[in-house]
């Protein structure tokens, strides 16, 4: 059992049409660490996240909890890595919330008798009342859908959470709720986001990506306060770190 | 498009709603077939069928205006088909009426079936009756995404209409329709891709897990008994 | 056209129920064997696409309106098995959600609008086009496929109604086929249009791996599946008990020969003639497919 949750070595990936998406990415994340993944649009953040659970396969090695992500045993990898996509509409595809949350655990082989309890717990974890179980995804607000999508991932009890823009398009109150939710989770966290303030809130460490390469990797506040670095990669120094705000 | 057009009254709690979906599927279909087997001369049987359906409709607590409204919407199509049939000879009108009546009775059965069963339950019932899993999964996706698609269509229509003044030539209409369909299709492909990624991320490997079973109750037996009695009655009387 | 309950004799309705059931089970089974995991979300999303698309009406003939059926399109894009299941889903949903089409008549509707349109559309497309087709070839093949899918589907519907006596074949077949020959132009146009749009916008969608292969013997098997219930109906012939529907229809009036139900004893040669035409079509299609297969140069089977 390694104490590295994620080890990525010399990862390269190009899309089918030839565009280079990831170039020589090397990255190690310890168990329990919380890392933010930031960068301009098209930097490769989402692409990298998709490599964590084997949806995309590049050349190079990706190891999750010591095991290499290879075509063979993806079941283990997908149990370990809970990937949450940006658009909840694509993740809520069952007629009811209950079935959506149950989908993951059932695929993992959790006995049918234990499913209701898992669903209840997942709803509680995302602070949704258990009456949500019978509702259809379409009738929920965007914020509620985001929380249900997170519940779907949490129900599988992954050891690594890979979240792609978890708080996008949310009103400030819901966003704050979600940040508190994520803060309370014990899993290793890889957070792909444009929301730099959220990155400061949740992740002591940040990786800056640009053009498919890792450009910086270090302490979040230090990186974000570096105006030159931020400007060079299409980012800005977050408000909370500017000059006389601290 | 009203978003709850399918399940509007399926959330009610009448005795019919509480029946297992399998019972209703088998029972109502058998009832429809029975109606179609009644010889046209047997008015008693027709009235008995109508009576039985009226009782069921009453028990179901589905609002009468809705049932009547729904029937009236479908009726024109039935009439159209009926008028295409060969008529003439004696009692032409009576026989036409009987034809329409048969069709309407079966329509009532369908309305009752779909409005007393939550769609999710209906799917589960179909699955347990041996319907191929893939068909049930497709129906489930259709139900889930039809609202999303109809919203997209509505927005496209609004966009199209706000850029249009007065009457439009058929060829332009066609071209626009073609673009709308093409765009919808591209979005469908992309959605399918993302869906696949989401499913696979949650451990999907081609097989769908089985849901927990539901139990029968005395109500199911009672319903089946009533339907069977009716069928027997129409055969022997 | 969705047939409501009560317009088909029970024998025809029930044999169509059995036939559609068998076809759907077969398609589901075939899909499983091909383990087409990627097709599952595609079928699901396309089911809702077709359902929605069928509600987009365009005006035809001033009064009526038509809509895209989509059988050919779905068959071409997803392959015949997946396409069939997609359309089957749509037909079932239309019956359940919109009460469009009867309960007992579901099998017939499923067969006409689901199976026939998809299989005919796919087969015709494969005859004139190929998975790698582009430009004019793609449009032409798509157009022809769309047209045939709608016309043959309408003919099947007319055949069922005619054999039931509900709409005499002499009236129904030309009317349905004629009307749909015009509608078919739109279907063909839209099918070709959407396919061209796709090739330009996202050519990767039309790649071969999206659809499983449809073999030569699948085609033969499909055509045999069609011939069987018709044979069954012919052999069942005129039974002693009149079907309730036929009992409703008027007695034959002297001279008004065309008003008789086609299944009554005096009309046996008419039925035979219809079956002969169908038989010729079936054999012709098999011969065509066989010839094409044998003369294809490196085209995948």
Task: Output the pLDDT for position C265.
Answer: 46
Q: Would you state the structure tokens that stand for residue A196, as one six-digit string?
A: 């730099």
Across B38-42, average pLDDT: 76
Residues of A in contact with C204 (CB under 8 A): 16-17
Residue C137 has pLDDT above 90, yes or no: no
- Domains for chain A: give ranges and CATH numbers: 4-245 (3.40.50.300)
Model confidence band, residue C63 (pLDDT cutoffs 50, 70, 90): low
Q: Could C4 and B74 be called an inter-chain contact, meaning their C-beta atoms sit closer than 8 Å? A: yes
Average per-residue pLDDT for chain A = 90
**Phi and psi at residue C132, to the nearest 5°:** -100, 10
pLDDT of C293 > 60? The answer is: no
Residue scoring higher pLDDT (C128 or C110): C110
pLDDT at res. C228? 66
d(CA C9, CA B234): 18
The overall longest dimension of chain A from CA atoms, in Å, is: 57
Q: Nearest CA to CA, how far is A27 from chain B (Å)?
A: 22
Tell how strand C64-67 and strand C57-60 pair up: antiparallel
b/e for C216-227, b at 16 or more Cβ within 10 A? eebbeebbebbb
In the prediction, which pLDDT does B67 show? 86
Whether the CB of C185 is below 8 Å from some CB of chain B: the reply is no
pLDDT of residue C33: 62
The side-by-side arrangement of strands in the sheet containing A67-68 is A20-30, A4-14, A59-64, A67-68
pLDDT at B236: 66
Count Cβ atoms below 10 Å from residue A41 Cβ, excluding itself: 8
d(CA A172, CA A174): 6
Distance CA A133, CA A123 (A): 8
The ipTM value here is: 0.86
User: DSSP letters of A104-115?
Assistant: HHHHHT--GGGH
Asked whether the beta carbons of residue A78 and residue B199 sit closer than 8 angstroms, the reply is no
Other CB atoms within 10 Å distance of the CB of residue A20: 13
Report the residue of chain B nearest C258, measured CA to CA.
B86
Q: Using beta carbons and an 8 Å cutoff, which residues of B are at the interface with A? A: 3, 119-120, 123, 140-141, 143-145, 147-148, 191, 194-195, 197-205, 209-212
- Using the predicted structure, report yes or no on whether residue A185 has a pLDDT greater than 70: yes
Does residue C231 sit at the B interface (CB-CB below 8 Å)? no
Q: Do B202 and A156 touch (CB under 8 A)?
A: yes
pTM: 0.82
Q: What gap in Å lies between CA C291 and CA C289, rounded to an integer?
A: 5
Mean pLDDT of C99-117: 90
Residue A91's closest chain C neighbor by CA? C41
What is the per-residue pLDDT across A210-240, written as a single tens digit (0 to 9) for each?
Answer: 999 999 999 999 999 999 999 999 898 998 8
CA distance C76 to chain A (A): 23
Q: What's the whole-number mean pLDDT along residues A64-87?
A: 87
Q: Write the DSSP string, C204-245.
A: GGG-GGGS----HHHHHHHHHHHHHHHHHHHHH-S-SSPPHH
pLDDT tops 80 at residue C260: no
Closest-CA distance, B89 to chain C, in angstroms, reads 6
Q: What is the pLDDT of residues B119-165, one digit of tens each?
A: 888 888 888 888 888 899 899 899 888 888 888 888 888 888 888 77
User: What average pLDDT does this structure show over B99-113?
Assistant: 88
Share of chain C above pLDDT 70, in %: 64
* CA–CA separation, B103 and A38 (whole Å): 63
pLDDT tens sequence across C162-212: 877 777 777 788 888 888 888 898 899 889 888 888 888 777 776 544 444
CB contact under 8 A, A95 and B140: yes
Judging contacts by C-beta atoms under 8 Å, the chain B residues touching residue C59 are 170, 173
- For B72, the token pair is 């009236």
- Whether C190 sits inside 8 A of B174 (CB atoms) is yes
Q: Which of C127, C113, C24, C126 is nearest to C70 (CA)?
A: C113
Spatial separation of the C-alpha atoms in residues B181 and B173, rounded to whole Å: 12
Chains in contact with chain C (at least 3 beta-carbon pairs closer than 8 A): A, B
Is A85's CB within 8 Å of B211's CB? no
**CA nearest B113: which of B236, B225, B191, B227?**
B227
Q: Which among C152, C147, C141 has a CA at the least distance from the CA of C114?
A: C152
3-state secondary structure of A192: strand
Which stretches of chain B are DSSP H helices? 21-37, 43-60, 64-83, 92-115, 119-128, 133-161, 170-201, 218-236
Evaluate if residue C49 carries a pLDDT over 60: yes
Chain C residues inside the 8 Å CB shell of A93: 41, 44
**Contacts B148 to A, Cβ<8 Å:** 89, 138
- Where are the domains positioned within chain C? 10-214
Rounded-to-10 torsion of CA C181, C184, C185, C191: -160
Is B203 within 8 Å of A104 when comparing Cβ atoms? yes
CA–CA distance, C31 with C36 (Å, rounded to integer) = 6
Please enumerate in sequence order all residues whose Cβ is within 8 A of that of C240, keeping only pairs 6 or more positions apart, or say none.
none
- The verdict on C204 touching A (C-beta cutoff 8 Å) is yes
Residue C275 to residue C234: CA distance in whole angstroms: 8
pLDDT greater at residue B211 or residue A13: A13
**C245-269 core/surface letters (b: 16 or more CB in 10 A; e: else):** bbebbbebeeeeeebbbbbbeebee
Would you list which residues of chain A are within 8 Å, Cβ to Cβ, of chain B? 50, 53, 55, 75, 78-79, 81-83, 85, 87, 89-96, 99, 103-104, 106-108, 112-113, 115, 136-139, 152-153, 156
Residue A43: DSSP 8-state: S
Count CB-CB contacts under 10 A for residue B23.
Answer: 21
Do the Cβ atoms of B146 and C5 come within 8 Å?
A: no
Phi, psi for C294 (deg, rounded to 5): -70, -25
DSSP state of B234: H
The kind and range of the H/E element at C265 are none
For residue A246, the distance in angstroms to the closest alpha carbon of chain C comes to 50
Residues in A touching C41 (Cβ below 8 Å): 93
CA distance A55 to A52: 8
Measured between CB atoms, which of C49, C165, C248 is closest to B149? Answer: C49
Instruction: Give the C-alpha separation, B142 to B177, whole Å.
Output: 22
Q: What is the pLDDT of residue B62?
A: 83
Which tokens sit at B60?
A: 């179901």
Q: Say if C257 is an interface residue toward chain B (CB within 8 Å).
A: no
A122 pLDDT above the threshold of 70 = yes
Number of neighbouring beta carbons within 10 Å of residue C91: 24
> Maximum Cα–Cα distance for chain C, whole Å?
64
pLDDT at position C167: 78
Between these two residues, B158 and C135, which has the higher pLDDT value?
B158
Q: pLDDT-based confidence at C131, cuts 50/70/90? A: low
Name the helix (H) or strand (E) containing A197: helix A196-202
Q: Which of the residues B6, B134, B168 would you substitute to probe the C interface, choosing the one with the greatest number of C C-beta atoms within 10 Å?
A: B134
Q: What is the mean pLDDT of residues C16-42?
A: 81
Confidence of residue A201 (pLDDT cuts 50, 70, 90): very high
- Confidence label for A26 from pLDDT (cuts 50, 70 and 90): very high
Tokens of A45: 């953040």
Do residue C204 and residue A16 have CB atoms under 8 angstroms apart? yes
Alpha helices in chain C (DSSP H): 10-33, 39-53, 71-78, 80-98, 106-109, 117-128, 135-164, 169-201, 216-236, 244-248, 268-295
* CATH architecture, range C10-214: Orthogonal Bundle (1.10)
Positive/negative CA dihedral, C110, A92, A58, A68: negative
Nearest-neighbour CA in chain B from A59: distance (Å): 20
User: How many contacts (CB atoms, under 8 Å) link A and B?
Assistant: 74
State how far residue B201 is from chain C, nearest Cα, in angstroms: 13
pLDDT of amino acid C290: 61
Contact residues, chain C, for A137 at CB < 8 Å: none
Between A3 and A51, the more confident residue is A51
The verdict on a CB contact (< 8 Å) between A106 and B209 is: yes
Tell me whether residues B209 and A95 touch, CB distance under 8 A: no
**Which position has the higher pLDDT, A156 or C56?**
A156
pLDDT for A104: 92
- Confidence band for C84, pLDDT divided at 50, 70 and 90: very high
pLDDT digits (tens, 9 = 90+) for B43-98: 778 888 888 888 888 888 888 888 888 888 888 888 877 777 666 656 667 777 78
pLDDT band (50, 70, 90) for residue B6: low
Whether pLDDT at A69 is above 70: yes
How far is it between the farthest Cα atoms of chain B?
Answer: 68
Handedness of CA C289, C293, C298, C301 (dihedral sign): positive
CA distance A146 to A151: 9
Do C249 and B185 count as a contact with CB atoms less than 8 A apart? no
Q: Express as a percent the part of chain A with pLDDT over 70.
A: 97
Nearest chain B CA: its distance from A151 CA (Å): 12
C177: nearest Cα among C143, C147, C154, C149: C154
Are A93 and C204 in contact (CB < 8 Å)? Answer: no
Which H helix or E strand runs over A202? helix A196-202
Q: Which two tokens stand for residue A98?
A: 């209950």
- Residue A189 phi/psi, 5-degree rounding, is -125, 130
- Residue A84: enclosing H or E segment and its boundaries? strand A81-84
Distance from CA of C105 to the nearest CA of A (A): 27
* Model pLDDT for residues C205-243, shown as the tens digit of each residue: 765 444 445 566 666 666 666 666 666 555 554 444 566
Shortest distance, CA C98 to any CA of chain A (angstroms): 19
pLDDT for C262 equals 42
Of residues C5, C99, C251, nearest to B89 (C-beta): C251
Of all residues in chain B, the one with the smallest CA distance to C46 is B188
């Amino acid at each position: 059992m390694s104490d590295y949750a994620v080890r990525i070595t010399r990862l390269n990936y190009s899309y089918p049409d030839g565009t280079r998406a990831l170039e020589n990415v090397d990255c190690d994340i310890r168990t329990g660490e919380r890392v933010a993944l930031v960068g301009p649009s098209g930097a490769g953040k989402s692409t990298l996240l998709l490599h964590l659970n084997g949806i995309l396969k590049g050349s190079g090695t990706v190891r999750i909890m010591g095991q290499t992500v290879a075509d063979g045993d993806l079941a283990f990898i997908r149990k370990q890595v809970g990937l949450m996509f940006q658009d909840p509409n694509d993740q809520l595809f069952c007629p009811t919330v209950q079935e959506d949350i149950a989908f993951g655990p059932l695929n993992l082989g959790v006995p049918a008798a234990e499913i209701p309890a898992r669903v209840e717990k997942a709803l509680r974890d995302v602070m949704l009342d258990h009456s949500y179980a019978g509702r259809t995804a379409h009738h929920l607000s965007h914020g509620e859908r985001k929380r249900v999508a997170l519940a779907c991932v949490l129900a599988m009890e992954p050891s690594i959470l890979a979240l792609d823009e978890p708080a996008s398009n949310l009103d400030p109150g819901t966003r704050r709720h979600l940040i508190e939710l994520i803060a309370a989770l014990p899993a290793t966290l890889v957070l792909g986001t444009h929301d730099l303030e959220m990155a400061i809130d949740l992740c002591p460490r940040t990786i800056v990506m640009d053009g498919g390469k890792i450009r910086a990797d270090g302490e979040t506040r230090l990186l974000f306060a570096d105006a030159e670095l931020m400007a060079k990669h299409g980012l800005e120094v977050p408000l909370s770190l500017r000059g006389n705000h601290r | 498009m009203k978003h709850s057009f399918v399940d509007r009254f399926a959330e009610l709690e009448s005795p019919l709603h509480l029946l297992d979906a399998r019972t209703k599927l088998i029972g109502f279909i058998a009832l429809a077939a029975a109606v179609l087997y009644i010889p046209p001369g047997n008015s008693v049987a027709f009235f008995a069928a109508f009576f039985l359906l009226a009782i069921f409709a009453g028990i179901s607590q589905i609002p009468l205006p809705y049932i009547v409204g729904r029937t009236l919407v479908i009726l024109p199509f039935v009439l159209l088909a009926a008028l295409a049939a060969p008529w003439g000879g004696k009692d032409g009108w009576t026989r036409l009426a009987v034809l329409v009546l048969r069709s309407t009775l079966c329509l009532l059965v369908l309305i009752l079936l779909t409005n007393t069963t939550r769609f999710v339950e209906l799917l589960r019932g179909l699955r347990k009756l041996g319907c191929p899993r893939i068909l049930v999964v497709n129906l489930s996706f259709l139900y889930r995404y039809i609202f999303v698609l109809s919203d997209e269509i509505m927005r496209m229509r609004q966009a199209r209409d706000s850029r249009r003044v007065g009457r439009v030539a058929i060829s332009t209409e066609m071209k626009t329709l073609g673009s709308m369909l093409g765009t919808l299709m591209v979005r469908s492909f992309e959605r399918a891709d993302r869906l696949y990624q989401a499913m696979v991320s949650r451990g999907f490997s081609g097989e769908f897990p089985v849901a927990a079973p539901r139990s029968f109750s005395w109500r199911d037996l009672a319903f089946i008994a009533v339907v069977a009695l009716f069928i027997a009655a129409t055969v022997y009387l | 056209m969705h047939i409501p309950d009560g317009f088909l004799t029970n024998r025809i309705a029930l044999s169509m129920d059995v036939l559609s059931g068998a076809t759907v089970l077969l398609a589901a089974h075939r899909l499983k064997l091909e383990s087409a995991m990627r097709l599952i979300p595609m079928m699901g999303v396309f089911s809702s696409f077709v359902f929605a698309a069928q509600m987009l009406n365009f005006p035809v003939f001033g009064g009526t309106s038509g809509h895209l059926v989509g059988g050919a399109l779905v068959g071409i894009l997803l392959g015949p098995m997946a396409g069939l299941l997609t359309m089957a889903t749509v037909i079932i949903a239309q019956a359940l959600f919109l009460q469009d089409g009867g309960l007992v008549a579901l099998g017939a509707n499923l067969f006409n609008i689901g199976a026939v349109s998809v299989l005919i559309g796919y087969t015709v497309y494969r005859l004139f086009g190929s998975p790698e087709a582009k430009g004019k070839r793609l449009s032409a093949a798509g157009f022809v496929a769309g047209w045939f899918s709608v016309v043959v589907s309408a003919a099947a519907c007319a055949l069922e109604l005619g054999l039931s006596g509900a709409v005499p074949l002499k009236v129904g077949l030309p009317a349905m086929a004629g009307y749909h020959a015009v509608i078919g132009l739109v279907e063909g146009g839209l099918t070709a249009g959407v396919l061209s749009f796709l090739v330009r916008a996202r050519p990767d969608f039309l790649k071969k791996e999206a659809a499983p292969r449809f073999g030569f013997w699948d085609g033969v098997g499909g055509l045999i599946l069609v011939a069987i219930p018709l044979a069954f109906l012919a052999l069942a012939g005129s039974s002693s008990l009149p079907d309730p529907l036929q009992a409703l229809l008027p007695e034959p009036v002297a001279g008004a020969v065309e008003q008789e139900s086609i299944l009554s004893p005096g009309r046996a040669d008419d039925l035979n003639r219809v079956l002969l035409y169908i038989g010729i079509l079936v054999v012709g299609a098999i011969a065509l497919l066989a010839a094409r297969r044998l003369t294809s140069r490196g085209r995948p089977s």
